[in-house]
Amino acid sequence: MAKNTPKKTTSIYLYIPNIIGYIRIFVNCYAFAQCLNDKKLFVVLYFISFVLDGLDGWCARKFNQVSTLGAVLDMVVDRVSTNSLLVILSQYYSPGLFFLAFLGLDISSHWIQMYSTFLSGKASHKDVKDSNYWLLKTYYGNRIFMAYCCIAAEVFYLILYFIANNQSNSLIDVMINAVRHNSLVRFPLILSMIGWATKQIINVIQIKTSADACVLYDINRKQKP
């Protein structure tokens, strides 16, 4: 049995969804290497990585190649790419703390959710059927709604990145100016901002429910003889 372990391990590394995850890492590395020089190229590459994010999930289900490595890799790549973009935006706009605050919220929400998932013995962090919050259950239970919130958040950040200049301008002033004077940006910016705001509310709820799960785990552990 021990002799077969390396072969089985290697085969999981070579799952199609995991290979897509490796490709995303290289795409993101090149994208962020060019983010200060070529905005159009960065947006295209970032969008390609985002499309691949959806493709790896489809491949995992299609070819029955769901793995813990794939789930962790997918979340890590998502968080690193999104939060790297937030760091860039914090340099383009004032107050930069606005973006850094949501960077912290994003990391905290997903980390504590994953940790509480393992403590609870659940197979997936998306298993929230026992939650008391309908918004959280709708988010993880409805793929269309979840896709809208995730895509909207990324589009919102990408629009802010694309319309920014090299100076640290007021975020509110830039957004108001874009809505008033840029008809191409107006509708996507408003629509994506709604989805982005919804996702931030979900992140807060996720922290609360995950913290409750951690507390419940401690209580149950102390009550055991």
78 catalytically annotated: yes
- Contact (Cβ atoms closer than 8 angstroms) between residue 93 and residue 160: yes
- Map 3-51 to HEC letters: HHHHHHHHHHHCCHHHHHHHHHHHHHHHHHHCCCCCHHHHHHHHHHHHH
**pLDDT for 112:** 93
* CATH level 3 topology of 2-223: Four Helix Bundle (Hemerythrin (Met), subunit A) (1.20.120)
**pLDDT for 168:** 67
- Contact (Cβ atoms closer than 8 angstroms) between residue 71 and residue 35: no
**pLDDT for 1:** 44
- DSSP class of residue 130? T
The parts of the chain modelled with pLDDT lower than 70 are: 1-10, 166-168, 225
- DSSP class of residue 170? E
Q: How far, CA to CA in Å, does 105 sit from each of 6, 97, 100, 193?
A: 38, 12, 9, 17
- DSSP class of residue 147? H
Helical axes 39-62 vs 16-33, angle rounded to 10°: 170
**pLDDT for 182:** 86
**pLDDT for 91:** 92
Q: Tokens 């968080």 identify what position? A: 79
**pLDDT for 4:** 52
**Catalytic pick among 53, 74, 78, 106:** 78
**pLDDT for 139:** 95
